[in-house]
Chains A and B, each alone.
Chain A
Amino acid sequence: MKMEHPAHARALPKAPTGIEGLDEITGGGLPKGRPTLVCGGPGCGKTLLATEFLVRGATQFGEPGAFISFEETGEELAQNVRSLGFDLDALVAEKKLAIDHVRVERAEIEETGEYDLEGLFLRLGFAIDSVGAKRIVLDTIESLFGGFTNEGLLRSELRRLFRWLKDRGVTAVITGERGERSFTRQGLEEYVSDCVILLDHRVNEQVSTRRIRIVKYRGTTHGTNEYPFLIDEDGFSVLPLSGLQLDHAVSNERVSSGVPDLDEMLDGKGYFRGSSILVSGTAGTGKTSFAAHFAQETARRGERCLYLAFEESPQQLIRNMQSIGLNLEPFVKKGVVKIHSSRPTLHGLEMHLVQIHKMVAQLDPAAVVIDPVSNFIDTSTAIETQAMLLRLIDFLKGKRITALFTHLTSGGSATEATYVGVSSLIDTWLLLRDIETGHERIRGLYVLKSRGMPHSKEIREFLITPRGVQLKTMKDRKK
Chain B
Amino acid sequence: MTPSDAASAEKWNLRLYTAGQSPKSLAALANLKRVCEEHLAGRYSIEVVDLLKNPRLAKDDQIVAIPTLVRKLPEPLRRLVGDLSNTERTLVGLQLRPRQ
A residues near B (Cβ < 8 Å) are: 100, 102-104, 108-120, 122-123, 125-127, 144, 147-148
B29 at interface (Cβ–Cβ under 8 A)? Answer: no
Residue of B51, B68, B82, B89 touching A114 (CB-CB under 8 A): B82
Q: Which residues of B contact A119 (CB under 8 A)?
A: 17, 19, 51, 58, 63-66, 68
**CA A287 – CA B31 in complex, angstroms?**
85
B24 at interface (Cβ–Cβ under 8 A)? Answer: yes
Is there contact, CB below 8 Å, between A117 and B82?
no
Q: Which residues of A contact B7 (CB under 8 A)?
A: none
Question: Chain A's nearest CB lies how many Å from the CB of B100?
Answer: 13
Is there contact, CB below 8 Å, between B67 and A110?
no
9 closest A-B pairs by beta carbon, nearest first, are A110-B93, A113-B82, A113-B85, A113-B83, A119-B63, A112-B82, A118-B66, A126-B55, A115-B65
- What is the chain B residue whose CB lies nearest that of A68? B59
Known: A112-B81, A113-B27, A113-B85. 7 other contacts (CB 8 A): A102-B64, A115-B82, A115-B83, A117-B66, A126-B59, A127-B59, A148-B81
Is there contact, CB below 8 Å, between B80 and A110?
yes
Is there contact, CB below 8 Å, between B58 and A112?
no
B2 at interface (Cβ–Cβ under 8 A)? Answer: no
Known contacts A119-B51, A126-B56; is A112 also within 8 Å of B84 by CB?
Answer: yes
Question: Chain A's nearest CB lies how many Å from the CB of B16?
Answer: 12
**CA A120 – CA B65 in complex, angstroms?**
7
| Chain A CB within 10 Å, residue with most, of B68, B79, B81 | B81
Question: Count of chain B residues with Cβ under 8 Å from any Cβ of A?
Answer: 34
B41 at interface (Cβ–Cβ under 8 A)? Answer: no
A-B contact pairs, 6 of them (CB 8 A): A110-B93, A113-B84, A116-B24, A116-B65, A122-B51, A122-B58
- What is the chain A residue whose CB lies nearest that of B56? A126
Is there contact, CB below 8 Å, between B85 and A110?
no
B21 at interface (Cβ–Cβ under 8 A)? Answer: no
Is there contact, CB below 8 Å, between A120 and B84?
no
Is there contact, CB below 8 Å, between A108 and B79?
yes
**CA A118 – CA B28 in complex, angstroms?**
15
| Chain B CB within 10 Å, residue with most, of A109, A118, A126, A147 | A118
B52 at interface (Cβ–Cβ under 8 A)? Answer: yes
**CA A102 – CA B62 in complex, angstroms?**
6
B92 at interface (Cβ–Cβ under 8 A)? Answer: yes
Question: Chain A's nearest CB lies how many Å from the CB of B45?
Answer: 20
Q: Which residues of B contact A117 (CB under 8 A)?
A: 64-66
Known contacts A110-B79, A110-B92; is A115 also within 8 Å of B66 by CB?
Answer: yes
Q: Which residues of B contact A148 (CB under 8 A)?
A: 65, 81
**CA A115 – CA B80 in complex, angstroms?**
10
**CA A23 – CA B82 in complex, angstroms?**
44
Q: Which residues of B contact A147 (CB under 8 A)?
A: 64
Q: CB within 8 Å of A: which of B8-65?
A: 17, 19, 22, 24, 27-28, 31, 51-52, 55-56, 58-59, 62-65
- What is the chain B residue whose CB lies nearest that of A112? B82
**CA A148 – CA B68 in complex, angstroms?**
13
Q: Which residues of A contact B79 (CB under 8 A)?
A: 108-110
| Chain A CB within 10 Å, residue with most, of B65, B68, B85, B89 | B65
**CA A117 – CA B51 in complex, angstroms?**
12
Is there contact, CB below 8 Å, between B58 and A123?
yes
Is there contact, CB below 8 Å, between A120 and B64?
yes
- What is the chain A residue whose CB lies nearest that of B25? A118
B78 at interface (Cβ–Cβ under 8 A)? Answer: yes
Question: Chain A's nearest CB lies how many Å from the CB of B32?
Answer: 10
Question: Chain B's nearest CB lies how many Å from the CB of A315?
Answer: 55
Q: Which residues of A contact B19 (CB under 8 A)?
A: 118-119, 122
- What is the chain A residue whose CB lies nearest that of B83? A113
